[in-house]
Structure 1
């Protein structure tokens, strides 16, 4: 028989995460104590006790990785990032630390438009050079798949440029990227007094061009004061759906605007942020099967309250996912482990619920049905952590415990770390 290419042995447990969002998270993580994982041709070939491996499964060419009594889980999936951009906004961060709000900075001419200026000026090669270190850091944290949005171009040529960069980056480094069009992120400066013509540009030119070139899977809209209204979002996302792009929404972040209800009405894949979601909105998400994507690092970064009600969302039966929202204005951090800790401390999730949200919950949010779990026949996206239990990840706040990261069966990160309890 064909031998394994890779075997992970001597684990405390393997979290296969093969359950469903409706189960208690501790059960949904489906742990297998002391199991080993075998990989062949980039896929998971075996999960179970080492003693039950078929004869001949391990041969001279098999690479054996010793977990040293630590745990193994699926690679993290980050379902919400803006990882492609130019420029930085440290001065705005300083203003917030002095008391200015996100909306005040945006109304004064800062915010998203600052990044748009820098991103428009940058070439594709510039954007690739800037994004590669961010993606490398995400990979080192154990992220093997990430969604990336456009939205800092806000013109036909620059939105296409950003999405081409995402496509190229996916081939240049190991993190698999899922592209999202977000031309309705903000109204660009040159259209500030002409909202309707800009909406026409999104609907009549940008969305068709992106769809024809196959550059995105989703279309996202920022519904908020100073951004776009629910009626404008309906128009943009209706046009996107006709072109095969599934809707997503940034909603209820800074104010309560019925955004969750809108996401449910449109059958969106996700409703993201949700710091100010209403009880009616939570019920609507649950009934419509829309995933709630929480980004607590952003809530911290913006110095705003409240955090999104993760406990209420889970209790209502909503699938919850967890992302970094990596971006230069409201979440300048690639640190998904920090988001895990904040989800427990501030969003009200348990450690198991947070782990689910960063793996299987996030994969389901992106429609990646064979990701975020360890199932025979699925892609071998795996992490060996330097601790014996997943509960240690949010507890040891913001620390990277990913010791070995495997993407499609290949070891892509191998870091020497002191082993924790």
Structure 2
């Protein structure tokens, strides 16, 4: 995956700002087919998910080290704890589920859960990440949760238990008559070691998230059963300024006033090997809002300091993203925006576009001084 930093800047004695745009080249899914190409590291990401679960505690004789929140290829009906570490496959230092030699699947998830303690009747919360970049959490009871850890003599991973301990045979952990709640959101990534060869129709297993209290389990599907993987020789790169400097900008408290505009070139180059099977593919860009969305609007990238936002447009590809426009221009919701295509038998292409950025006022809440914003741009294909 190729990552660069793109920065939006405004420089003024009264008001200044930066936008960092992080670039990556990954590969996207359309319908049930995921296509990846050359490269090592994270070579694809997508298929976002979210899920919520709940268990009623009808028996206090429940142990406290099972997966209060866990992700695995088990649906929860046959596996009542976290995935064994032995089932994970290290690719470029990342613990994944193996798809084929040198390629694995990993969640990038954020989760939270809550439960009532048997002894104190206190309500405690567990929060943390599962999968990439690491599985780690915190409990408001004061416990740090670090994986892998051991249950029943087996090393476990990809889960957040309420405590990091092997003494789960100690009974009376959850309070009877209470509820345990768990929720998770995130997406999936495919990791490669760089030695992949062209092949098709690789089945990706369904994946599940579950919450487990001893023998009670609730689970949801977070990766469907009908997803296939295709490995090609296609690779893409992007060339556009990674620092956008809006220059000196006067502070304007009129809501949705355009404060500055920058127009830059956007070049995307793709190639595929003549020695392997070539493919037809759409070439896309996607934008992930690292600094968040302004008022939840997908076409407005929020300033880190609040009080304003940035919009983008690709002439001939998107509508004009004027300040104040509703859902116009570039969207920062990680959805693919098609900028071109490559045909089977076509060994290389270069797509030339312009990308226009606008800095916009949020009104009276627009701060004085330096402001920043950031987004990640992904060059994808399907």
Report the TM-score range of the alignment, normalised by the length of the smaller protein.
Answer: under 0.3
User: Which has more helix, going by share of residues?
Assistant: 1
Relative contact order, higher structure (CA 8 A, sep 6+): 2
- TM-score with structure 1 setting the length: 0.22
User: Which has more strand, going by share of residues?
Assistant: 2
- TM-score with structure 2 setting the length: 0.24
Tell which structure's C-alpha radius of gyration is larger: 2
